[in-house]
C-alpha cells in the first residue's frame, strides 16, 4: 500500500473515530461476504456502522485522537462498530449475531474512556432499550402521585358510600 493511500485511510479513520465515545470491537474469523453484508444491514437497522480496519493504521489513528485504550483490542482481523443510538443497541445486535454465527466474536468495547471486556459488552446487551427505560422512569415518577391521588379519593368514595347508604335507609323509612 502506498504512503499516500495510507495517509488517506488514516485521515478517514481519524474523522470516523474523532467523536467516538463508545464502540465495540469485534473479531472477524472467516466471515463470508454474504454474512458480512447481512451483519452490516442488521447493524444499520439499529443506527450503527461497522468499519473493518487495518490494525496498524487504526492504532495510529486512535493514538492521534487520544483514544489509545481502544488499540489494545485491535489484534487479528478486527472491525470497529459504532453508532449514533448508543452502545446498547449495538451490543444487542452483536450478541444475537454471535449466538447464531461463529464467524464474528466480540473482543471488547469502549465506553466513557473505559475499555470493556467481552463479558461486560454481553451484560450491556441485557439492558432494556431506551424506550423501555424511559417508561420505567416515568412510571417511577408518576407512581407516588397516583398513590397519593388514590388515597385522597378513597376517603371521598367512603364518604359518598355512607351518604348513599344513609339516603337508602331514609328512603326505606319513608316508604
Alpha-helix runs per DSSP H in the chain: 3-17, 33-45, 55-64, 87-100, 118-124, 130-174
- Is a pLDDT exceeding 70 seen at residue 116? yes
Report which of 58, 57, 56 is spatially closest to residue 23, judged by C-alpha positions: 58
Is the per-residue pLDDT at 173 higher than 80?
no
pLDDT of residue 105 exceeding 70:
yes
Residue 136 · residue 128 · CB < 8 Å: yes
Q: Is the confidence at residue 129, as pLDDT, over 80? A: no
Q: Which strands sit side by side in the sheet containing 48-53, from one edge to the other?
A: 48-53, 78-83, 22-28, 104-111, 114-116
Count of CB atoms situated within 10 Å of the CB of 116: 24
Is residue 40 over pLDDT 90? yes
Please give the pLDDT value at position 15.
Answer: 82
Which of 60-69, 74-83, 140-149 shows the highest mean pLDDT?
A: 74-83
Mean pLDDT computed over every residue of the chain: 86
- Average pLDDT estimate for 122-129: 85
Q: What is the mean pLDDT of residues 57-83?
A: 85
The Cα–Cα gap between 14 and 8 comes to: 10
Instruction: Look at the pTM and tell me if it is higher than 0.85.
Output: no
The dihedrals phi and psi of 110, each to the nearest 5 degrees, come to: -140, 125
71-99: pLDDT as tens digits: 888 888 889 999 888 888 899 999 999 89
Burial class from Cβ neighbours inside 10 Å (0-12, 13-18, 19+) for residue 15 reads exposed
* % of the chain exceeding 70 in pLDDT: 99
Q: What is the mean pLDDT of residues 5-30?
A: 85
- pLDDT bucket at 175, cuts 50 / 70 / 90: low
Of 20-34, 40-54, 104-118, 141-155, minimum mean pLDDT range: 141-155
d(CA 151, CA 146) in angstroms, rounded, equals 9
Which grid coordinates belong to 156?
Answer: 371521598
Amino acid at each position: 500500500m502506498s504512503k499516500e493511500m495510507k495517509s488517506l485511510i488514516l485521515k478517514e479513520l481519524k474523522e470516523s473515530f474523532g467523536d467516538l465515545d463508545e464502540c465495540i470491537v469485534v473479531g472477524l474469523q472467516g466471515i463470508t461476504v454474504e454474512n458480512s453484508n447481512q451483519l452490516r444491514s442488521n447493524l444499520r437497522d439499529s443506527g450503527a456502522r461497522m468499519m473493518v480496519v487495518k490494525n496498524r493504521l487504526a492504532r495510529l489513528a486512535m493514538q492521534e485522537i487520544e483514544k489509545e485504550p481502544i488499540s489494545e483490542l485491535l489484534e487479528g482481523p478486527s472491525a470497529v462498530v459504532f453508532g449514533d443510538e448508543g452502545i446498547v443497541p449495538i451490543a444487542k445486535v452483536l450478541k444475537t449475531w454471535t449466538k447464531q454465527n461463529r464467524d464474528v466474536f466480540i473482543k471488547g468495547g469502549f465506553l466513557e474512556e473505559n475499555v470493556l471486556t467481552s463479558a461486560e459488552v454481553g451484560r450491556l446487551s441485557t439492558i432494556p432499550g431506551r424506550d423501555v427505560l424511559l417508561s420505567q422512569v416515568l412510571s417511577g415518577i408518576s407512581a407516588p402521585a397516583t398513590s397519593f391521588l388514590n388515597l385522597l379519593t378513597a376517603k371521598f368514595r367512603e364518604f359518598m358510600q355512607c351518604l348513599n347508604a344513609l339516603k337508602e335507609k331514609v328512603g326505606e323509612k319513608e316508604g
